[in-house]
Structure 1
């Protein structure tokens, strides 16, 4: 829609410039009418839902409103300016207008309108947010001595009739707790409670329940970029991964523990709905790696889903400073989704970077799935929200930069398999069977 508006603006400006040149007149009265009509046309598009009014359109709406006010005043007062017609002025004004329209339309191009993926469940979904303070940890990204705070958002059935399994989600590096909202909606509509964690300073940005904004750490972001550029030694890279993983697993551990504690002595509606005997973990990228590691460490987890994350918790370093892989069979049902780039790396080097092939070969309940044409961010909602950013961030994360798969097919296929896997191994309903490729 953003590109279409620029094209329409281009056609109008070129036509108007040609009209001015042909009549040898600035046509300020006509310009004023165009400005007023453009604003009301824009309002009409919003009212008819051709344009879904949201942040993408704020700049364009403000510009059209200002131009409409100016045009309206000129039409009422009949003061259209006294500058004599000059061809260069008409052309330069037209070019300037196109540049301005292009600038204010950038948000609509970077973040195009999109339809939400299909939701199959029968429950209406409700959300609520909380900010938890971990009194046992000091925030290491600041020097204020404050405790680490984590904001979470729950998705759960609105008309609750029973207790529901709990799924904990951890986003990837630079991600946010909303990164897989369509998956959360699908699960909640089918009788799950999903708790997605914002990891402060590991996220692009977090906002707590008091409205305080925390921007992602530039230091952490540079570490991720450098790690994917392979500038570190094997030992240095392992130490870096270990630092990231400790923060993430501590965050998830804390959130699970405080939720379990609140189910015993908290009056909030959400805690009365949680079946504490049925807990699943899921995460994307670094969040997936942390989820897999916690699946080994905690005894109250039923199943784990890893969305294109390497199993960093399966690595350790021995006395010779060599990296070794955990040979113990993975103890839980495990579902791994991988981009096409990663699955090709796995086939070429089964124990290089991603030891999952080894793990799945000795665990009968470990599955690996690749959706053809996917890249790293295909397993989030970002390709819908911003295809441009999705491809760029996939490139930063390593691997191919452009996804060739249809975004809706990829997300809806993933959501279907996520639901079936958790139904089988968390709820204990039905069987789970999956192909290697979709």
Structure 2
């Protein structure tokens, strides 16, 4: 109801502005003032529609949550989406429990956002985990995120090249081209995740870090998590490293497991057993299409397995972006991107995600 009221107000304000400008009799200071005020109202109403004021969801854990941002530069890699030879820099954000006993070891969760997301995309989940004693690190995958700011203060937007690659990708019609895209994206993402994780572990070992409790990280309890494209990268890290205890994928295919395309245009997947426990979370956006979309063949195989190591949850009545905090900060944009209104409030869905992820982590890592 709120969205429809605001949309109606915007149409009226737009009509009023056009009316003030169109009538010749209004081409006087009062008429131009009317048009200007109508424009201001239109902008203000549009902002309220896109970004309503919301209160953050309260955490349920025993700890207060600390937050800070740091910047890591990979001296071994040149930035893919630039031509000036600069090294790849990754802004990273941390959420961690305050006043935690230094004698205890803390599990680490590393997060990778979706194609056009940001490191704050699932902050509700990050804060909840930190309140229960987890250190959470979320990465801005530079030029693959909507917007970020580098250590020199420069604001970096989403790469037009990357946006084009994603927008024209058609796995069903052009699987070989999709495989090229998958390999490129997954190489960038998994290299980012490996570099950030190695950097954190090295800083933890040295005891010299911007994060106050790095020296409390438990190296035997590391989870990699991600949404959409970031979830695919997290699933890839679960295969690549021996120090990963669990993986959580918020609606993502096993893109790193694709080894080729057969003569019938079907993806060929790695057939070896996935080595670590996985929680796969789905919305209506993919649930009914898993058998159709061949990049999800590995997901279907795990769905059919009877194993406590591979858990699958379907949140019905919501779409892909409802699995992120966009559903909280901009319900209207979420409705547009997901193709319709979710059947339950954003707070309800996000709390369910919090509980599911926390329960899985507690089972697998504590």
Residue 411 in 1 paired to residue 350 in 2? yes
TM-superposed CA distance for 1:109, in Å, is: 1.9
Match of 1:293 in 2: 236
Match of 1:199 in 2: 141
Match of 1:343 in 2: 287
Map 1:209-220 onto structure 2 (within 5 A): 209-220=151-162
Residue 356 in 1 paired to residue 296 in 2? no
Match of 1:387 in 2: 331
Match of 1:235 in 2: 176
Kindly provide the CA deviation profile for residues 363-388 of structure 1, in whole angstroms up to 9, marking residues without a partner as x: 61111111111111011000111122
Match of 1:436 in 2: none
Report the CA distance shift for 1:234/1:283 in structure 2 as closer, same or farther (over 3 A).
same
TM-superposed CA distance for 1:92, in Å, is: 7.5
Q: In structure 1, how many angstroms separate the alpha carbons of the residues matched to 2:6 and 2:302?
A: 49
TM-score by length of 2: 0.86
Match of 2:21 in 1: none
Given that 2:246 and 2:278 are in contact with CA atoms closer than 8 Å, whether structure 1 keeps it comes out as yes
Which of 59, 66, 72 lines up with 1:132 in the alignment?
72
Q: In structure 2, how many angstroms separate the alpha carbons of the residues matched to 1:87 and 1:223?
A: 48
Report the CA distance shift for 1:363/1:332 in structure 2 as closer, same or farther (over 3 A).
farther
When the two chains are superposed, the root-mean-square deviation of aligned CA atoms in Å is 2.8
Report the CA distance shift for 1:105/1:355 in structure 2 as closer, same or farther (over 3 A).
same
Residue 260 in 1 paired to residue 204 in 2? no
Which of 108, 116, 136 lines up with 1:166 in the alignment?
108
Q: In structure 1, how many angstroms separate the alpha carbons of the residues matched to 2:245 and 2:147?
A: 30
Match of 2:257 in 1: 314
TM-superposed CA distance for 1:208, in Å, is: 2.5
Q: In structure 2, how many angstroms separate the alpha carbons of the residues matched to 1:129 and 1:92?
A: 46
* SS, match of residue 148 in structure 1: strand
Q: In structure 1, how many angstroms separate the alpha carbons of the residues matched to 2:255 and 2:171?
A: 16
Q: In structure 1, how many angstroms separate the alpha carbons of the residues matched to 2:31 and 2:83?
A: 56
Relative CO higher for 1 or 2, CA cutoff 8 Å, sep ≥ 6? 2
Report the CA distance shift for 1:352/1:251 in structure 2 as closer, same or farther (over 3 A).
closer
Map 1:1-20 onto structure 2 (within 5 A): none
Q: In structure 2, how many angstroms separate the alpha carbons of the residues matched to 1:246 and 1:212?
A: 25
Report the CA distance shift for 1:241/1:392 in structure 2 as closer, same or farther (over 3 A).
farther
Given that 1:205 and 1:213 are in contact with CA atoms closer than 8 Å, whether structure 2 keeps it comes out as yes
Unaligned runs of 5+ in 1: 15-85, 395-399, 428-438
Match of 1:34 in 2: none
Q: Number of residue pairs matched?
A: 346
